[in-house]
Copies of this chain bind each other. A is one copy, B any other.
C-alpha cells in the first residue's frame, strides 16, 4: 500500500489563486479568494478553490493559518513569522519580530519523545479601530 503521489498538471485556476493571495499580501479565507477571483474567472467554483488551496499548501507554496472564528486563512509569506489577531473584528496582521528558533530546541530537549518541527505564536488583543468599541477592559 504505497500512497499515490500525483504529478500535478499546470492549472490556470491554481496559479490565479496563488497570485491572488500573493498580491493581496493578506491572510485570506477561501471565500475571499473565491469572491476576489470571480469577476475575472466566472467559471471558478468553491470546490476548485478548496482543492487548489490544499494542493498549494501541500506544495508549500502557501501556508494555512488556523483561527477561532470561521475557517482557515492562507498566507503567501513563507518565511516563519508571528501573527497578531484582533479578537473583535478578527483581522490578522504580521508581527515584526524575530522568530525564536531556540524555542524548538528548548522543547526538544525537554520532550525528547515528541519530534518538534516548528512552532507558531499568535498574539491576541484588539486592533486600534476595535479598542474604541470596548471600554472597560480590566
Query: Chain A interface (Cβ within 8 Å of chain B)?
Result: 64, 66-68, 72, 84, 86-87, 93, 95-97, 103-104, 106-107, 110-111, 113-128, 131, 137
Contacts and interface: CB of A to CB of B under 8 A. Distances in A.
Contacts of A72: 68
A96 B106 CA distance: 10
A113 B129 CA distance: 9
Q: Can you list the 10 inter-chain pairs with the closest CB atoms, starting with the nearest? A: A113-B128, A116-B125, A117-B125, A66-B68, A115-B126, A119-B123, A115-B125, A118-B124, A120-B122, A121-B121
A65 to B, nearest CB: 9
Given A68-B72, A115-B126, 10 more contacts: A64-B68, A95-B107, A95-B110, A95-B111, A114-B128, A115-B131, A118-B125, A119-B122, A120-B121, A122-B122
Contacts of A64: 68
B97 A113 contact: no
A124 B113 contact: no
